[in-house]
């Protein structure tokens, strides 16, 4: 029997496809497009026969399905980079850099104001730039902040690059030397 | 409900089973999953069958063609290639030779207690 799929059924199928697409991010775009198309066809056929809930249940673990596709593409346990992991760790690293710099800037301003409540002038904190973090510049007028500037030096990008390399296991792009 | 089968045991047999079913009749992914269930292999999730087909295609053991369907988008039908037929023959031979050794060993009656060590092994 072929059931007619409702809009909600189609949306549930698309949600599954979106999840699988996210989990197979390491596969190139064209390959993922083929996977989505095939999976959509099969899921719709299954939903037409057994209902969308049963079709999704019969699919089993989406994580296992995605791993199966990645292994099918590259071979079992193949050395391949994890682009999604690299992007994720770059994001986390950037958030941490901004958070550390923000907290540091607030602490620096509080320190200047505590040392001289009526301070006027421009104060620069560049101790952290030595380790590749930001330089903080604040301008105060009678103890009140009028301007704050945080510059991210090029060195801070090294942390993000390191996160991409480590998180994405990019060394796997280097061909193995034959023994 | 039929007997359950160990998914780990089935894992290695999935490719030959798919090739065997495709050698009988061209099928698309979901249809193959249904045919496996009809054989009594209901433990194999559809999500294992689809990547296995992708792998067989990448390895050149099956070829595919799109066939339009009245009830939805065009379906990808698979059939074995000559390499697929060769792989099927090889896998079937391996399985039958393994089964010929393992089946008598596992199907003979199990003694109530294991025999003691032979005298040669005693101190």
pLDDT tens by residue, A98-146? 888 888 888 888 888 888 888 888 888 876 666 666 778 888 888 888 8
The verdict on A114 and A63 lying in the same domain is no
* pLDDT value, residue A176: 67
B111 and chain A in contact, CB less than 8 A: no
CA A148, A153, A158, A161 torsion: positive or negative? Answer: positive
Q: Are residues B56 and B29 in contact, defined by beta-carbon separation less than 8 angstroms?
A: no
Q: Are residues B3 and B43 in contact, defined by beta-carbon separation less than 8 angstroms?
A: no
Instruction: Give the pLDDT band (50/70/90) at residue A147.
Output: confident
CA A139 to chain centre: 35
Report d(CA B39, CA B14) in Å as an integer: 13
A173 occurs within a structural domain: no
The verdict on A88 and A163 lying in the same domain is yes
Instruction: Give the pLDDT band (50/70/90) at residue A78.
Output: low
The verdict on A67 and A98 lying in the same domain is no
Q: Number of A:B CB contacts under 8 A?
A: 82
**Last-in-domain residue among A55, A74, A93:** A74
Q: Specify the range with the lowest mean pLDDT, choosing from A16-25, A53-62, A163-172.
A: A163-172
The tokens for B87 are 């792989």
Q: Are residues B72 and A4 in contact, defined by beta-carbon separation less than 8 angstroms?
A: no
Q: Is the pLDDT of residue B87 over 60?
A: yes
- What ipTM was reported for this prediction? 0.80
Number of domains in chain A: 2
Instruction: Give the pLDDT band (50/70/90) at residue B25.
Output: very high
A60 and chain B in contact, CB less than 8 A: yes
Instruction: Give the pLDDT band (50/70/90) at residue B1.
Output: low
Q: Where are the beta strands (DSSP E) in B3-96?
A: 62-69, 72-80
* pLDDT value, residue A178: 58
Q: Is the pLDDT of residue A22 over 60?
A: yes
The arithmetic mean of pLDDT across residues B101-106, rounded, is 90
Report d(CA A17, CA A9) in Å as an integer: 13
A45 and chain B in contact, CB less than 8 A: yes
Q: How far is CA B55 from CA A111, A164, B102, in A?
A: 62, 29, 29
Contact state of B47 with A68 under an 8 Å Cβ cutoff: yes
Question: To the nearest whole number, what is the mean pLDDT of chain B?
Answer: 89
Which percentage of chain B shows pLDDT scores above 70? 95
Instruction: Give the chain A residue whose CA is nearest to the CA of B32.
Output: A42
* pLDDT value, residue A54: 93
Parent domain of A12 = 7-74
The verdict on A66 and A90 lying in the same domain is no
Residues 6+ apart with CB under 8 A from B94: none
């Amino acid at each position: 029997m072929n059931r007619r799929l409702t809009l909600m059924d189609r949306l549930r199928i698309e949600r599954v496809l979106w999840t699988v697409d996210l989990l197979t991010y390491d596969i190139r775009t064209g390959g993922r497009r083929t996977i989505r198309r095939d999976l959509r066809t099969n899921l719709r056929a299954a939903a037409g026969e057994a209902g969308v809930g049963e079709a999704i249940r019969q699919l089993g673990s989406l994580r296992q399905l995605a791993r199966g596709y990645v292994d099918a593409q590259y071979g079992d346990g193949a050395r391949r980079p994890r682009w999604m992991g690299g992007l994720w760790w770059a994001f986390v690293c950037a958030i941490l850099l901004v958070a550390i710099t923000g907290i540091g800037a607030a602490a620096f301003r509080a320190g200047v104001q505590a040392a001289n409540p009526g301070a006027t002038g421009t104060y620069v904190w560049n101790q952290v730039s030595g380790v590749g973090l930001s330089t903080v510049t604040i301008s105060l007028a009678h103890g009140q902040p009028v301007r704050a500037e945080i510059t991210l030096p090029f060195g801070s990008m090294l942390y993000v690059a390191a996160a991409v390399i480590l998180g994405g296991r990019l060394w796997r792009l280097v061909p193995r030397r034959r023994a | 409900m039929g007997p359950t089968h160990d998914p780990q045991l089935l894992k290695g047999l999935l490719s030959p089973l798919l090739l065997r079913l495709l050698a009988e009749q061209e099928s698309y992914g979901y249809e193959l999953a249904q045919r496996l269930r009809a054989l009594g292999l209901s433990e194999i999730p559809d999500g294992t069958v689809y990547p296995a087909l992708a792998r067989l295609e990448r390895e050149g053991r099956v070829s595919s063609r799109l066939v339009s369907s009245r009830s939805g988008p065009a379906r990808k039908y698979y059939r074995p290639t000559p390499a697929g037929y060769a792989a099927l023959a090889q896998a079937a031979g391996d399985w039958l030779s393994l089964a010929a050794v393992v089946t008598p060993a596992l199907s003979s009656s199990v003694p109530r207690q294991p025999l003691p060590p032979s005298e040669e092994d005693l101190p």
